[in-house]
Structure formats: C-alpha cells, structure tokens
Amino acid sequence: MPSGATRIGTLLFSTCWRCRLFLLVSYRFAKSLLGETFALVATLLVMAHPITLISVRSGGFDFLATCFALLVIKSLLDLCHDQSPSKLAILWMNSCLFAEIRYEGVLFLPLVLAALLLFKMMSWDQLRPYAFVYALTPAYLLPRVWQAVVRGNIPEQEPGATTFSLQNFFANAQEYLKPIIAPFESPPAHSAILIACGLVGGGLGLRWLARRVGARDSAAPRVRFALFVVAWLFLQVLISFSYVWGRAQYPSAARLFVPIDTFFSFVGAWVLVRGLDRWRPFVSVLLAGSVFIAGVPVASQHRLLNRLTLTRESNTTWKFFERLGEKRILIVTEHPNLFTIMDYGAMSFDAARRDPYLLTAFARHLFYDVYVIQKLELSTNTLLPGYDIWPDRKLDPVLEFQNDANVLVRISRLAH
C-alpha cells in the first residue's frame, strides 16, 4: 500500500505532465497558426478560465481530452500544409487516442474521416507506407467495445431522463453565457472576457470564411483547416449543450466545457493580438497575463467548488432516513442514486411525474411511505424550478435545513 506522501507525489507528477503537455501543444499549435506573439498570448489565455485551472488538478480526463483534441486539430493543420504519409498516420493515431479518453470522443472519428475524404487528403499511396498502423485500428478501439460489454445493463441516465434534447441545448447555452448576461453574480466557472472576445472573433472568422468559400477558394490549406475547425466546434457544442447534465456553471459539470473554453481562448487571443497590432508585442502579452491572473483567485480558493453542497445535503438526509429505521419507503429526489445505494427505493422528479401507477402502488401499501426532498429559495420560500410535484396531494414537511446562502432543503412526507 503506497504511503500518503507517495500518492501525493504521484498526483503532483500527473498534474505537472498534463499541464506541461497542454501548454506545449497550445504553444506549438498557436505558433504554427499566427506566430510567436499569438502563441504567447494564447498559451496564457487557455489557462485563464477558472474551471481549466481546477480541472488540471481534479478533472484529469476532461483536461486530457482537451489536450488530445488540440493534438488532433494540430495534426490536421500540419496535414493541410504537408500531405505526407507520416502526417496522415500521426493524425489517425491522435484521433484514436482521443476517442479512448471520453465517451463522446469516438463521435469525432467520422468527422476526421469525412474531412480527409472531402478535402481529398487521403489516398492509397498515402496509406500504403503505414498500412500496419491503420490495420490495427480495431485493436486501438477495442477498449471502447470492451467497456460497452462489461457495463452490462447499467443505465446511462436515470429512468425518464432525456439524455439529449433541444430544450437542454437552449437552457445550457443560456447558462454558459451567464457570465456575460449577469456578470456580477457568483464567480463564474468560465471567463466572461474570453467568452465575449471569442464570440466577437468567431463572428469575424465566420465572415472571413464565408468570403473565402464564396470566392471558391476552399482548396487553400487555411480555408480547409477553418472549415474543419468549424465542423469540430459545431459537433462539440451540439454534444455539450444538448446533454442533460451540460450545466456550464454547475460545479460538477462545468469541466465538460473546457474544450469550448479553450476554443474561445484561442479566438480571444487572435482578437487581442489583431486589435493591438499597432502596439509592441509585449502589450498583448501583458494584457493576456492580466486576464490569466484575474482567474487564478477563483480557482485557487475553490470559490466555484465551494458551492458543491451535495455532500452536506446527502449527509443530513441520510441521517434522517436512518433514524426512521425503515427501508421500505420511496424517496423522490434530484439524486435517486444516492439513496438506492443505501437500500432505499428512490426515483427522480421527472420519473415520478411520468409514472401513472406510483400513487396507486402507494395506496395499495407497496411501500409504507413516500418522502419528497425539495429545494426552496430561502428569501421567497418558493420551490426552485423542477422541484414541484403532485399539486393536488398534501405533503407534510418533516425536516428543513439551510444548505446554501439562499437554498432551503425540505423533506416532506406524502399524506396518506
């Protein structure tokens, strides 16, 4: 059994190499695009989002996935300028590695293949020198297949939840833009300055791309690369925003948006360098350093993760149900899995609303009692959105406790 010092040393080593790899890839990628000044500014800005700094330490897979996404995009940029067999093999290997890191990574493989075929950057003459690399592709992806097999019948989401939907997309997109819409609220997970610069730069970039495509200049390497980046970002945004847990400002889900934050950092760097091109290069670097420093306190003091009140809430509710001394109950809660692992029957609000036989089963004494865990806004004593259920049935409050600055948790018992 390794000692505590050994475990801490291993963690620090892992954090350091992930951070160095990410910064190195960001620097090399930015330098190959627009030169040294842009590379320095971009390297500072990619770490300026508070959630990125936090993810280096506590969300390794998300941070590593972003790093390999950059490697794939950098490899395609190299291939656009030099369509050699070795560059193509490197692109494919990076794509396969990226597909192994996160669940959605495999969805980007068809996008890479489509880009290679559409831009005619893949031919038999290019594949032949490294044919053994491509022949081993099924072996590269075997862990994904094996993972799907050993997972068995464990559901991806709780019953009744819509994993991906258009409604999720618009709600999550609004939440991601919250630092711009409401800049003076609690410390955001994502930099408002970089999101704003990214939106402006993205609009300018799309206008430039539309003009080049309209002039039938799509065969140029940079235009091809820009089209691929737009398609990549579109797929990333579609997956992240339409996901039911794609909550950009939610402490445990904000890390899912590190790839989008990284894109806005690069675009923001371009806006900053282009807007200050009449000044000396150190001015752009100095401003980028200021943006980076502004995000450090939010990350270092865990102002974002301090809002993770689920541990305190679950501890209090578990103790309450333990005092009841009865397992044959049903709990309606936002997090049913936290209670099923404790041998209680539990279901989500959405699943309870959709179940037409739940109240009938209760009337027939399939379970002794039904308890509902709801959250209210403390200042107004009104239910938060999504916690309302059975307006025509009486709920008797049995326990209330404050769990956040303006959040009251209420446990109620369904009247017989």
From first to last of the 416 residues of the chain, give the pLDDT tens digit: 444 445 445 555 566 777 788 888 888 988 988 888 888 988 888 888 888 877 776 656 778 888 889 999 999 998 888 888 899 999 999 998 888 888 788 888 889 898 888 888 888 888 888 888 888 888 888 887 787 676 655 555 555 567 788 888 998 888 888 888 877 766 677 888 888 888 999 899 899 888 888 877 777 888 888 899 999 999 999 999 998 888 887 767 788 888 899 999 999 889 888 888 788 878 888 888 888 887 776 666 555 555 567 777 888 999 999 999 889 999 999 888 889 888 899 998 988 988 888 998 898 888 899 999 999 988 888 998 889 999 899 999 999 998 877 789 999 999 98
> Both tokens of residue 228?
């691929």
DSSP SS3 for 158:
coil
Contacts of 384 (CB under 8 A, 6+ apart): 374, 375, 376, 377, 407
One-character DSSP codes across 91-123: HHHHHHHHHHHSGGGGGHHHHHHHHHHHTT---
DSSP SS3 for 415:
coil
Global model pTM greater than 0.75: no
DSSP SS3 for 188:
coil
> Both tokens of residue 148?
């799907």
Q: Where are the alpha helices (DSSP H) in 243-280?
A: 258-275
Is residue 400 within 8 A of residue 320, CB to CB? The reply is: no
> Both tokens of residue 178?
């919250």
Q: How many CB atoms lie within 10 A of CB 121?
A: 18
